Amino acid sequence: MAIASVKTIIHVAGARPNYMKVAPVIEALRPVAGIRQLLVNTGQHYDESMAGSFFKELDLPRPDRDLGVGSGTHAVQTAKVMMAFEEVCLAEKPDLVVVVGDVNSTMAASLVAAKLVIPLAHVEAGLRSRDRYMPEEVNRIVTDRLADLLLTPSRDADDNLLAEGTPPEKIHLVGNVMIDTLRRHLRLATLDRVRDRVAVEDKRFAVLTLHRPSNVDNRETFGDILAAVRRVASEMPVVFPVHPRTRNRLAEFGLQPALDGVILTEPLGYIDFLSLTSHARLVLTDSGGLQEESTALGIPCLTLRENTERPVTVTHGTNRVVGVQTADIVSGFEQALATKWEGKIPELWDGQTGPRIARVFEEFLRS
Ligand code: UD1
């Protein structure tokens, strides 16, 4: 059924982990009559390898507005997004603002929408690490508190929201939208794609990613993690696409020699990276998204953090939270090699989350 008058939805994306969450939602809403979709790119990430390549690979439309905010302290980055996004909202008068994930752009756009009393939807609502040292945790709490529609990836997220007093009618369990993107691109993700940069054999190598400030901004913690990585690299090739923050810290702390024997690359595009993770023997990471992707792929994952906001990847999937001490990481690695970690795909991580979200939005805009 069509919506009576044309309604405008503004999607906000700004940093690398946002693009694969926005794409399936835009795609699912495309055929819906009476909806005008606009994409705003905040520019929190701006390198070709961190942003531009994702637009091309994921078939995202060219952004209607580029806010160009760039890097900065949390306050500066948040404020710049708010100032620029407020102008967009005043000009476009959207009927719904959609934010995804937990980056600074997510929270900044949410504050703007809430202050202008524009309905706000949060995709990937309800995740909690209960660790306020993690800037994303603050972003999640604020965004969820302000959102009118909370689209959750798993039941634990619903439970978190209900425990915080969110009215149940605002919560919609829709599954994990990122898995839509993963399933769609998996058949393109072959090792041949990356062979010019990384010569590894199927299931005989590990993939490492590190970028959390709590890990890489502290020399001692970073060094402890790299000591464990060297041990892993003595058993199998380790491929490490290096995030810009991490590259800067490696240089600042003089830690490059600690990576002798590790295969370093620039940050990879979405499909190239999926080529590596889907063929890896195991993954070591402090990323949130990669914990989920490895669970969807059934690949063992060692999470190099003290906590996770994605517990379903541990209770159902192939993820183990091993912390950041050298001995604990090495012991997790040995267990992963010695035993087969069976996981199952969590409920509704089925590639159909985009269409479920589109139905929630349609219903909301029609009412
Ligand atoms: C941000 C998100 C984090 C997400 C991560 C994925 C917040 C609070 N953090 O962290 O949740 O997991 O993105 O990558 O929103 N830089 C570049 N080029 C770029 C982007 C960044 O060189 O395109 C460098 C800059 O030196 C910058 C640093 O990386 O200062 C960190 O970038 P920033 O966006 O502040 O945080 P991330 O660590 O990327």
pTM: 0.97
Which residue's CA is the closest to the ligand 1 atom numbered 7? 103
Tens digits of residue pLDDT in 13-33: 999 999 999 999 999 999 999
Res. 215: pLDDT tops 80? yes
Strands 238-241 and 206-209: parallel
Helix (H) or strand (E) holding 129: none
How large a percentage of the chain has pLDDT more than 90? 97
- Pocket of ligand 1, candidates 18, 21, 45, 308: which has the most ligand atoms within 8 Å of its Cβ, to mutate? 45
pLDDT recorded at residue 259: 94
Taking the centre of ligand 1 as the mean of its atom positions, its distance from the CA of residue 264, in whole angstroms, is: 19
Residue 241 Cβ contacting ligand 1 at under 6 Å:
no
Taking the centre of ligand 1 as the mean of its atom positions, its distance from the CA of residue 245, in whole angstroms, is: 7
Task: Count CB-CB contacts under 10 A for residue 256.
Answer: 12
- Pocket of ligand 1, candidates 245, 285, 286: which has the most ligand atoms within 8 Å of its Cβ, to mutate? 245
pLDDT band at residue 308 using 50, 70 and 90 as cut-offs: very high
| Token pair recorded at residue 124 | 């990937």
Q: What is the mean pLDDT of residues 226-252?
A: 97
pLDDT recorded at residue 4: 72
pLDDT recorded at residue 3: 65
- Mean pLDDT, all residues of the chain: 97
pLDDT recorded at residue 2: 61
pLDDT band at residue 213 using 50, 70 and 90 as cut-offs: very high
Q: What is the mean pLDDT of residues 182-189?
A: 98
Q: Kindly report which listed range (65-74, 254-263, 345-354) carries the lowest average pLDDT score.
A: 254-263
Per DSSP, the three-state class of 39 is strand
Nearest to 107 by CA among 83, 84, 141: 141
**Amino acid of residue 180:** D
Residue 296 Cβ contacting ligand 1 at under 6 Å:
no
Determine the atom of ligand 1 nearest the C-alpha atom of 287: 12
